[in-house]
Structures are given as structure tokens and as C-alpha cells.
Amino acid sequence: MGETVAGLRDELRRLIAEEVPADYLGAFTDDPSDLAVAQRFCRVLADRGLLCAAWPEEFGGRGAPVWEQTAVREEMWAHHEPRGAQYMGVNWVGPTIMRHGTPEQQHKHLPPIARGEVIWCQGFSEPDSGSDLASLRTAARRDGDGWRISGQKIWTSYATMAQWCFLLARTSPRERKQQGLTVFLVPMSDPGIQVRPIRSMLGPHHLNEVFLDGVRATEADVLGRVDEGWSVVGEVLAFERVGIARYARCERLLRSAPEVLESHWESLPAELRGRWARALTRARRARLLAYQVVSLQSAGRVAPGDAAAYRIAVTRLDQESAAVLTELAAFATGDGDRVRRFRRAVDDHWRYANAATVASGSIEIQKILLARSLLGRPRRTGEAA
């Protein structure tokens, strides 16, 4: 397996060098050509069976071992995610539909994801229910043989470009707020959906408000059982939190610093080089934690405590490495392409790292999940994940 994965990494790096511009820093910039690069590259990966390599063949994959998909994930994130928003569909929307979807939903949604043809967004957070997701107010009311959904979502990444939304809404009042929730697969083209971008230092497309006014949904749009969406969401969050290989980009940038600084490296303050070494060590530790969770998930076990431990480690790594790299970039003098690209990549990494403690679940919530796991307290039915 080791030689196979190593060969796969070589192939991925060759494809990136051939298909992705050297200055590429992600799909979600003010330049529309960056998104076009990502969409085109997804099709390149799909044509080679690499976009969803570990998916079963019946769903558009090639049944590769999960470690090959992990290698794809790492190489993509290390090189500024040239799949664009496709990682969302590949990492957790698709696998969740495989586990909980009807045959009709699987046939409808999985092949387009595997071909890199569709972008998904996530309708979870709301203005008054961020970390406390179960307190959401978006409601789905019975309307004949379906539902009408009304409410508001916020911080919805990629909503301006997505074709589908993985939407959580309340379908009935219950004693515990985690009960009575349902997942809907909703087309973003519905006339009842309005998207308003939120400008931020992360750039366009990342953050949006989504308003839902009488959005129509049918039984065919329900994922899993009505009123039991919280159990689906628990799996989603575990897959999502390990699905982005942030450690791979941290390690790549840290490893490149001595090569970029060249002769300046030896004259750096010893304290700064020590912090660089510690950050590199922690990047490798985060990688091992990710591998532990991947192994559990591949065996059919989704462990919230293990996913939380990884999330805490990689979040701290994001911010620690960003601080170290920012100081190192100040010593990178000259105006050559390599220096300029390094400084731009570090600046991009710093901006994302500042949002790391709240993205995909706040760090405080992750600590609660980890504490519960370590203390061995069983979670009561319907209790918040």
C-alpha cells in the first residue's frame, strides 16, 4: 500500500503542476478564472478516477482503499485545494447520502458529485444558533404531501455558486431540542431561496446569508427519517471535521521555509527556529490523529471524541504555524517568484487560520466533546453532540 500511495502522490503533484497555475491560492477569490481552474481540475481528477477514488464503483468511484482517498485529500489541501468547493460533496455529502439516502437519492446525487459537476453548500448555522446548532429556528411545515421551509441560515460557504443545499430544519416541536429535526436536500434554484454574500477577509463566496421563504420540499427530498436528522448531522460533523487536511498545508509551508530563506535561515533567531521545529512536529502529530479517525471511520465507527481531539490539535496547529510563518516571511527578502509566492501563501494561510477556531464547530464545543469522551459519560438519547 505504501508504494501505491507514494505513486499516487507523485501523479497528483504532476497533475497539479500541469493543470494549476503556480500562483493559484484557491478558487474563491475576486478573479473568476480561479473558480474555472478548480472546476476544470475536478473534471481532470474525475476522468482519472481520482476525485472520489474510495467510493464504490456503483456510485461513481473505483473502490480504492480509504488511504488513497486520504492521500488525495492531503495533496489537494497542501496545494490550496484545487478542487474548490468539491471537497464538501466528496468528503461528507456523498458518504452521508450513501449511508442514509434512498436508492433514488443515491442515483440522483452521487454520480454528479463523482464527476465533479455539482457544488453543495451546508444549511446549518443560524443567526442565533451557531455552536448550539440544535436550537435552530428554520421550520419545515407540512403542506399537502410535502413541506414548506422558511427561515434563515448564515455563514453558508459557497451558497452563491452551489446547486444544492444540505439543509437542517425543524419539522416538529419536541421536549429535547435535538429531536424533531430533519435533513432536506434542497435545490438552490428554488425561487424561495435568496442568498446575500457577507464580505470578509476570506474573500468572496465563502460566507453568505441564506433566506428561505416557503421553499417547497417533498418526501423525496428528505434524507433519512423525518424528525431524526440530528443523528445524521452527528455523522456529518465527524466526517467534515477530519475531511479537511489542514495539517498538510501547514507542513508544506513550514518545510518550504528553509528553502525559500536560503542563506538567511542560519542567521534567524534560535527561538524562532525552535518554534518552527515545534510547529512542524505538531503538524505530523495532527496527521497521525487524522489517520486514527480515518481508520475508525473506515471500520464503520464515527467517534465524536476522536474527531474532536483531531479538530482541537489541527486548529491550534493552524494558528501556531500561521504565527511562525508570518515571522519567517518577514525574513524572506527579494522579489523573485519563489519568495513572492511564499509570502502570498503565508498571508493566505494566516487569514484562514484566524477563522479556524469557529469554522466547522467552535473549539469550545470540541473541548466539550473530548471531555465527554475522556470521562466516559454516556450521552443520553437526543442530547447535543
278-298 burial: b if 16+ Cβ within 10 Å, else e: ebbebbeebbebbebbbebbe
For 132-171, the DSSP string reads -GGG---EEEEETTEEEEEEEEES-TTTTT-SEEEEEEE-
Contacts of 298 (CB under 8 A, 6+ apart): 66
Dihedral over Cα of 289, 290, 295, 296: its sign: positive
376 SS3 class: coil
Closest CA to 367 of 288, 319, 310: 310
Active site residues: 240
Cross-strand pairs, 120: 164
Burial 73-106 (b: 16+ CB within 10 A, else e): bbbbbbbbbbbbbbbbbbbbbbbbbbebbeeebb
Backbone angles phi, psi at 367, to 5 degrees: -65, -35
